A and B are shown apart, each in its own frame.
Chain A
Amino acid sequence: MASALKNQTQNQPLTFQEVLFRLQSYWAERGCVLQQPYDIEVGAGTMSPDTFLRVLGPEPINIAYAQPSRRPADGRYGENPNRLYKHLQLQVILKPPPSDIQDLYLQSLEAIGIDLAEHDIKFEEDNWEWPVGGAWGVGWQVMLDGLEITQFTYFQQCGGMDLDPISGEITYGLERLTAFLQDVDSIYEIVWARDPRTGREVTYGEIRLQEELQLSVYNFEAADVSKLWEHLRMYEAECQALLGSFHEAFAKKAEKEAERHEKKHEQVVHADGAVPAAEDLQQQLRRFPVLGAYELCLKCSHLFNLLDARGAISVTERVAVMARIRAMVVGVAKTYRQQSLGLTA
C-alpha cells in the first residue's frame, strides 16, 4: 500500500524531521532565508513577526520557518489521533509572490517524495482571515487525495492596511503531511526520527504525547483563571503604554520635524545653530521597541485563548476582549509601519 511514497534509498517513508529538512532545503535552495521558530506562543505561523510584520511595507522578503502553533482549545489530552494542542507548521512567505509560485509549491511536494502523477491534487478555494490582526487573504486549501495538506494564501491586508506588494503564504501542516506520507492513522504513530545506524525509531508520541496530555490538563483544568486575567491585563497595559509613548514621542516630533524642515532654510540664513539634530530623532525612532509591544500582543492573544479554553470568557467579555486585542495588534502593525517610514524618510 502506498508504495510510491517510500523513500527510494532506504525504501522507508521520510521521517517527520526529514520532511522538515527536505522542505527547508527546498525553499532555501529557492532563495528563502531559513528562520528559526519564534519563541513566544502563537496560534499560527502567521502570527510570528516574521510573517505578520514582514508582510507590511514594500521591502521584498523570502523567508521560511517551522512554527509550533498552540491552540489551547484544540487540545484532546492526547486521546484524539488527529487533534493536537500544539502542531507544527512550516511557513513560507514570498514577497512579492513569483508568478510561478504554484509550480514552486508543487515541486516542493516532489521534494518530499510525492510523485504528483500518482496522486489527485486540487486547489480548492479557501480564504484566510484573522480579524484580530486586521488581516485577510484569498487562496486555496491544497487537497492531496482528499487530504488538506497546505493552506495557500495571497495576503491582501494586514493590520488593517492594504499590502503592496502582496505576499504569498504557503503553510504546510507537518503532522498531517507526514502521517499521510507514512500512512499512519494516528499522529502519535508518526516516526519522528530513525537512527540510521541502528534503525531504531522514535515516534511523535514518544516526543510529544506527555506534553499534549499535561498541557491539555493545564489548559482545560489547572490554569488559574484569575491569574490569567491578571496577566492579560498586565501585558495589555504595558503594550498600550508602549504604543502610547511612541505616539506621544513621535507624533509630536513628526510635526516638529516638518516645522523644522521649513525653518531650516531660515536658519541657514540666521545660522544660530540651536536646533536639535535630526539624527537624534532618527536614532530614538530606530530604538523604539515596537517589536517588544508586538510580543506583548502575542502574550495577550495566547492568554485569551487559554481563558477561552478554560471557559472563562463570558458573552459580553468575549467580544470586548477580542476588540481590545485587535486594537493592540492593529495598533502595533500601524506603529511598525510608521517607524519603518520614519526610518526610511
Chain B
Amino acid sequence: MADFLFEIGLEEIPARMIAAAEDELARRVFELLTREQLLEPGQEAQSYSTPRRLAVLVGGVREAQADMEEHLTGPAWGIAFKNGQPGPAAQAFAKKAGVAVTDLKKVQTPKGEYVGASTVRKGRTAGEILLEALPKEIAGIYWPKNMYWRAGKPERFVRPVQWMVALLGDTVIPVEFAGVTAGRATFGHRILHGNEPVEIAEPADYLKALEAAKVMADVEARRQRIRKALDKATRKVEGALWREDEPLVDTVTHLTEWPAVLLGGFEHEYLELPEEVLVTVMRDHQKYFAVEDAKGRLAPYFLTVLNTEPGDDAAEIIRHGNERVLRARFNDARFFWRVDQKITLAERVDMLQAVTFHKELGSYWDKTQANREVAKRLAGLVKQQGTAVDEAALLRAVELAKTDLTTELVKEFTELQGQVGGLYARAQGKGEAVAQAIYWQYSPASMEDAIPPTVEGQLLGLADRIATITQMFGIGLEPTGSKDPYALRRAANAVVKILAEGHVKLTLGDVLGGSADEKVQAFLKERVAYYLRDVKGFQYDVVNAVLAAEIYNLDGTLCSRGHDDVCDAIERSEAVSAMRGSEDFEAIATQFKRMKNIVRQADDKGLFKFAPGSGADPNLLQEPAEQNLYRRATEIGSEFQVLRMTREYQRALEHMASLRPDVDRFFEEIMVMVDEKVVRDNRLTMLAQMLHAFFYIADFSEIVAG
C-alpha cells in the first residue's frame, strides 16, 4: 500500500477556474482508483492547487489489483462431452477459457448441466493502470476556455502544461500528457525560488517540499494566511477595518502561491469621489481591499495581496508602485466625472439615439420610449391600489435612466451603470426620488442582491425588464437551453423578486398588461417556480402544486393562475409546506389525486366534461356516503372559500384536511363509474367541483406523499 501523488504544472491558470478544476482532478483520480479496485476502504483524496499547479494526494493505494477468480459457463454438458469424452465443443471452450480440458467442470444451471471453467485473472498493477488511464482523466478535465499550443493541435487544455509529478510511494509513474512525461520534479515560486527543480522523494513530502520552495499548495491555508495578513496590515491604521469581500479573497487566493499583504494609502482629496467609484476602482480594477474607519466610512487606504515575500526596501517599492497606479486611476475617474458634468443627463437624452440597444429593437432612445409606456401603465395600476407613487419622478427617472451610458465614467466603469446615473442625477438636482430610482434600476443583479428601496425604483426596474423581455420574445430571442445571450432569465428573476419583496402589489398579469403571449407567461412561470424552489427553498412538489392552482370566476372563466400573484404563491407555499407533515393532509392529497384521475379518465374517454361553475344535484345522490360527502364538502368548502379570500391559507387547509374521513368513506362505499349515466355524471360533477374549489390554493394531486 502506498500514497499516490499527482501534480500537473501549468502556466498561470485563470483564477476563476482553479477551484473547480482542482476538485475535478481529485474526483477523477479518486474515482479511477476506486473503479479499478486499487483503493483501501476509508480513503479520501486530498487536493491542492496554486495558479501554476493542480495536485491530488490519495493514501492507501494498493500496488496491484487483487487476482480475480472468474467463472465461465460454456456449452451444454451433453453436447461437449459424449460418453464422458470431450468433443470439439469442449476443446474449443477450454481453449477460449485458457484452461486444460481436464480442468473443465460440470455446473448446474437452471437450464440444466453445462460445462464450466474457473480461471484466475491476474490483477494489474496500479502503475500500469495509472499510466494508461490517467492521461484520459487529465484530458477530460472541464475548462470554460481552452487553448491549443502544440503544433498539430494534439490536445486542448487551459494553458500549456509545463511539468507533471506522478509518484506511487517513492516510485515514479511516467504518465504522459501533452508531450510531458511525469517525474518527481516540481517547481517552486517563480521568483522566490527560481527555476531550480524541487525533487519530491515521496508523496507525503509534497507540501513540505513546496513550502521550502515558497509555495503554499494548500488553498485553505493560503486563504487563512491572507485573511490574517489583511487583519494585521489593517491594524496599522487605528480603528480601521478592511472591507469584507469573500469573492475578492477567493480571487487573490487563486492568484498567489506565497501571499503577503501590503497596506497603501491615497490622498484624502479623492474621497470627494463617490464611494462606488473608489471601491470599484480598487476592487474590480486593482483587486485591492477597501479600508473603512470605525464608523464604516471609506478611509484613504487600500490593501493589496502580493505573490511574493518582499523585504522592507522591496515592500516600499511595491507600495509606491501600487499607490502610483491607484492615483492614476482615481485621477482618470475624477477627470471623467468632471468632463461628464459639462453635459447634463437631460442633454444626453438625445445622445441615446446613437447607442444601440439591439439592432432590431433600436437604440436606447427607443428603449426609453418602450420603458415609459410600461412605467406609465404600472404607475396607474399602483395608484389604483392606493400605493403612494411619485409618478412625475418615475417618468423623469425613466427618461434619464439610460443616459449615463453616454458618460465617460460609465464607458470606463461599465459595472457602475445606473449608479453613476443616480449620482449624477443627484448632483444635478433632479431630486432624491429620481436619483434613487435611476441608481437602483439594475438591482437586483442576482438573487442575493437587494431590490430597489423605493416604489419608483421598483417600478423603473420592472418596466425596464418587462419591456426588454416582451420585446425580445417578440422578435424570437427567447432563451433556449443554456443559451441566454440577453440575460432574460436574470431579468425575469429580478421581476419576480421585486414583485415578491417590493412595496408594489402587482401580479404578473398586471405587469405584462395585455400581453397574453403564452411563451412569455410560461417563461415567467418557470422563473416563479425557480424563485420559490431555489430562493425560498420550498419543496419541488409543493411548488408544482401551488403553481398549478387555478382560480375561476363565478361564470366559470379562468380568473388567475397559480403563478400570477407571486406574493400569494409564497403564502400558499408556506401553508402547504406547513401542512405537509400532517397525516390527514397527505392522505387527502392522495385522495385528490385519485379523484382527479377518475375525472380525467372519464374526460379522456369522452364520458364526461366538467363545466366550471356547475354543481352536483343533491337530489340525485342516493347513497349515504355520497350524501354525507356532499354535505360536508359544501359546508367545509364555504368555510374554505372564506379563509382563502382572507388569505388564511393554513387554516383553510386544516379545514380541508378534516374532510378526510368523509372522502375515505366515500371511496370505500361508492363506485363512481356506474353504468347509469345520470348518477355517474352527478358523482363526477361532485368530485370535479371539489377539485376546483380546493385547488384554488394548490393542485394537491401534485403532492408527493411522504
Q: Which chain A residues have a beta carbon within 8 Å of chain B's beta carbons?
A: 1-5, 76, 79-83, 96-97, 99, 102-103, 106, 116-125, 127, 137-138, 140, 144-147, 154, 156, 162, 164-166, 180, 183, 185, 311, 313-316, 318-319
Contacts and interface: CB of A to CB of B under 8 A. Distances in A.
A317 to B, nearest CB: 10
Contacts of B335: 76, 79-80
Given A96-B151, A118-B317, A146 B145 contact: no
A118 B151 contact: no
Given A117-B191, A120-B318, A123-B11, A166 B362 contact: no
- Counting chain A CB atoms within 10 Å of each CB, the highest count among B149, B152, B306, B353 belongs to B149
A125 B16 contact: yes
A123 B359 CA distance: 37
Contact of B12 (A120, A123, A127, A185): A123
A123 B51 contact: yes
A1 to B, nearest CB: 6
Given A140-B12, A318-B356, A2 B317 contact: yes
23 contacts: A2-B317, A2-B320, A3-B313, A3-B317, A4-B314, A5-B317, A79-B335, A99-B160, A118-B317, A118-B318, A119-B318, A122-B256, A123-B11, A123-B51, A125-B15, A145-B317, A164-B151, A185-B328, A314-B353, A314-B354, A315-B362, A316-B359, A318-B356
B332 interface: yes
B145 A127 contact: yes
Contacts of B363: 315
Given A117-B314, A140-B12, A311 B255 contact: no
Contacts of A1: 316-317, 320
A7 B396 CA distance: 59
Contacts of B150: 165
Contact of A319 (B317, B320, B359): B359
A124 B160 CA distance: 15
Question: Chain B: interface residue count, which band?
Answer: 35 or more
B612 to A, nearest CB: 50
A145 B356 contact: no
A78 to B, nearest CB: 13
B354 A315 contact: yes
B287 to A, nearest CB: 8
A166 B318 CA distance: 35
A147 B321 CA distance: 8
Contacts of A79: 335
A82 B328 contact: yes
A164 B148 contact: yes
Contacts of B359: 315-316, 319
A249 B147 CA distance: 37
A80 B316 CA distance: 27
Contacts of A318: 356
Interface string B296-336: 00000000101110100110111011101111100110010
A313 B363 CA distance: 13
B331 A81 contact: yes
Contacts of A76: 335
Interface in B139-153: 145, 147-153
Contact of B314 (A118, A140, A313, A319): A118
Given A119-B317, A122-B255, A147-B325, A162 B310 contact: no
A76 B339 CA distance: 11
Contacts of A81: 328, 331
